[in-house]
Structure 1
């Protein structure tokens, strides 16, 4: 038995292909790291205040460089996959190189990541945050808090819906089982899984709601004076989604486009406007309360089913 993905190859490939990030001196780096650490704590306060969810579980906040981010995300993703996947021949090396190439691209785009499988811990990708803040000419303190609030909302989601990581792992196990020993690359795996609509559909809906909820919460922060500027410039930048969402989408052959998470945000915004955050929060209590793919586009159907 071999692992489907050679994680050392994945991380090594990502480190080789990723640029290090903006050139800054040690004093600047220290200020950025300290600012991000402070934002991590403040982001949890804002996420709790807005979402009306509270946290009691300990969690780390790690400010990392791009190489550290790639390693941490690989550890998170490895913990999601089922054990004992029979990967023939050079499949682990090929899959590791493919995934490493994906991580290399994501490492220059993804700003933060909450890791529910290893930790739990919050990762803030300092070089990419710094680069984007400069490109968009944003207020650093406000931008850091905006990002941290989004990621800390994910922390609250997983804490109040501890069944979600189990569903993710269960779904991946179900879709991998019939493919043992027959898959030759990540792309091959994705093409074979496109027909497995029910498993992929549920996971897509779950992740769309999680991302959509975090987007709605972060955009409701009242203490960020420049939030309208941040939102306008960030949205003009185009597509943004978490590393976890992108990696699962790549592995499952899902077309994990920004549209999915806009659907999730629209669903959450409708329900929060209709019933408030406290009413919306019942969704985290049971797996059956998450929307189907059809309900994601028609929140009134979800209301009719759950009320």
Structure 2
């Protein structure tokens, strides 16, 4: 049975097209891996301290090269999509090649990823972290902790809003399941997207809040001495979006603007400044407490509705 994406093609394409990363000695590589593992644990401590959320669930931290990153991310994305959907023709091969090309590009940009679908586990992309740290001339310990805090905030989000992965899978299932036996899956996918504006809008809102919240938390860590330098140089480098947000955006045809950290971060910053992190954390308790697309750009309206 053919799935919508040929995952073997996606992974092999990603591994073929992705550059290996900076050339470093074995001893230095081992030291970076160990420092990233330590940062993973410290990042959870900082994320809990700032966000006022706590974790009790086990999680694995994986420090990977770009090939390992592509494999883990493919597993994550595969777990999100509904199973048992037969797609005729060359659609799976084409979709797999396209996704693999996207992974190859993102593998040189995305620093980390929290995976709630397989694991749960934290992925840290060692070659890309090293490359960007060198390019921006950043303090290694501070940069590693900054990244890890962001990703561990996602861990806390998914633990306290355990309903979110199910909503993602539900929306994707609603989108893909009618495509079984379709003669033109791509054309019908576009038609389905137009008919699912409310679902796509909800998923956009969820992703924007999750990414924005993680950005606000990581930037509120006080123990990172060079955080102002990191923020300034990183922001000058350009907008950065998570892998999950980018892949969902490509798959669902969402506008890039709706998935940038900036939109969600502005919402979260406003709410946290008004009612604190403890007040903001109520958002994770129920699906209906997440903002609408309009409320995302007007947090005062969300506050009026929920307080």
TM category, shorter? over 0.9
CA pair 185-24 structure 1, distance change in 2 beyond 3 A: farther
1:70 and 1:250 map into 2 onto residues whose CA distance is 17
Tell me if structure 2 keeps the 8 A contact 1:76–1:118. Answer: yes
For residue 177 of structure 2, what is the aligned residue in structure 1? 177
User: RMSD value over aligned CA atoms?
Assistant: 1.5
Relative to structure 1, is the Cα distance of residues 30 and 191 closer, same or farther in structure 2, using a 3 angstrom cutoff?
farther
Is the CA contact (8 Å cut-off) linking 2:204 and 2:259 kept in structure 1?
A: no
TM-score normalised over the length of structure 2: 0.96
- The aligned counterpart of 1:140 is 140
Looking at structure 2, the residues matched to 169 and 282 of structure 1 have their Cα atoms a distance apart, in angstroms, of 23
2:185 maps to 1:193? no
Residue 176 (structure 1) shift: 1.5
Distance 2:79 2:29 in 1: 31
What corresponds to 1:24 in structure 2? Answer: 24
Q: Evaluate the alpha carbon distance shift between residue 183 and residue 134 of structure 1 in structure 2; reply closer, same or farther with a 3 A threshold.
A: farther
Deviation string 1:76-126 (CA, Å, 9 cap, x unpaired) is 000000112221122111111110000000000000000000000000000
Q: CA 1:186–1:261 in structure 2 vs 1: closer, same or farther (change >3 Å)?
A: farther
User: Aligned partners of 1:11, 1:258: CA distance in 2, in Å?
Assistant: 27
Change (3 A) 1:72 1:227: same
Q: Does 1:50 align with 2:50?
A: yes
By how many angstroms is 1:180 displaced? 3.0
Equivalent in the alignment of 1:281: 281
- 1:184 offset after TM fit, Å? 5.3
CA contact (8 A) 1:154 1:210 kept: yes
Bigger mean CA offset, 216-225 vs 246-255? 246-255
Task: Encode CA deviations 1:42-76: one digit per residue, 9 max, x unaligned.
Answer: 00000000000000000000000000000000000
* Contact residue 87 and residue 179 of structure 2 kept, 8 A: no
In structure 2, C-alpha distance between the alignment counterparts of 1:220 and 1:189, rounded to whole Å: 41
Distance 1:190 1:112 in 2: 30
Contact 1:187 1:251 in 2 (8 A): no
Superposition map of 1:24-173 within 5 A: 24-173=24-173
Query: 1:24-52 CA deviation, whole Å, 9 max, x = no partner?
Result: 01011011101100000000000000000
For residue 256 of structure 2, give the secondary structure of its aligned residue in structure 1. Answer: coil
Q: Which residue of 2 aligns with 1:207?
A: 207
- Looking at structure 1, the residues matched to 183 and 51 of structure 2 have their Cα atoms a distance apart, in angstroms, of 42
Taking the aligned partners of 2:63 and 2:190, their CA distance within structure 1 comes to 32
- 2:227 maps to which residue? 227
The number of residues matched between the two structures is 307
Answer whether contact 2:208 2:258 (CA < 8 A) is retained: no
* Equivalent residue, structure 1, for 2:305: 305
Q: 1:159 to 1:268 in 2, by over 3 A?
A: same
Deviation at 1:257, TM superposition (A): 3.8
